[in-house]
Amino acid sequence: PSALVGRNAPDFTLPALEPGSLPALSSADLRGPLPGPVPVNFWASWCVPCIVEHPQLMRLARDGVPVLGINYKDRPADAAAFLTRYGNPFTRLGRDEPGRVAIDWGVYGVPETYLLDRQGIVRWRYAGPMTPDVLAQDVRPLLRRYA
């Protein structure tokens, strides 16, 4: 469970992963109305379960779902290399190098994914790697429900 479910995401402003890379991410980007439900994924290049989860994020992106990312306690060069190797599913990506934003969200390990509805309200949280089963049984129905 998460104390954020039913509430707006906490206030934050994160820098872009690297200058000239994907747009940075802030809580202002998560305030409604949004074009549809939006997953926010906390991840790191050093996180083995993040590699397991990554194909599901890529699948969402291919299906037109705007996946937002927060890179957690990572070096920008390592995170960029991860995305080059495995693909980049993110439309916006913030860098939380010290991990302060993750603490405000209640993250206790990566990967963790939150789903926000069109109004920017957190509706769901999943701790751990998103597997094909989680994508099919949890995420897809939630995307339809909050579309």
pLDDT for res 18: 86
Q: Is 2 helix (H, G, I), strand (E, B) or coil?
A: coil
Residue 146 per-residue DSSP state: T
pLDDT for res 2: 78
Predicted confidence pLDDT, tens digits, the chain (147 residues): 678 999 999 999 999 998 888 899 999 999 989 999 999 999 999 999 999 999 999 999 999 999 999 999 999 999 999 999 999 999 999 999 999 999 999 999 999 999 999 999 999 999 999 999 999 999 999 999 999
Q: Is the dihedral of CA 78, 9, 12, 63 positive or negative?
A: positive
d(CA 60, CA 11) in angstroms, rounded, equals 26
pLDDT for res 3: 85
Total-model pTM: 0.96
Question: Where are the alpha helices (H) located in the chain, listed in sequence order?
Answer: 48-62, 76-86, 100-105, 132-134, 140-145
pLDDT for res 15: 96
pLDDT for res 140: 97
pLDDT for res 142: 97
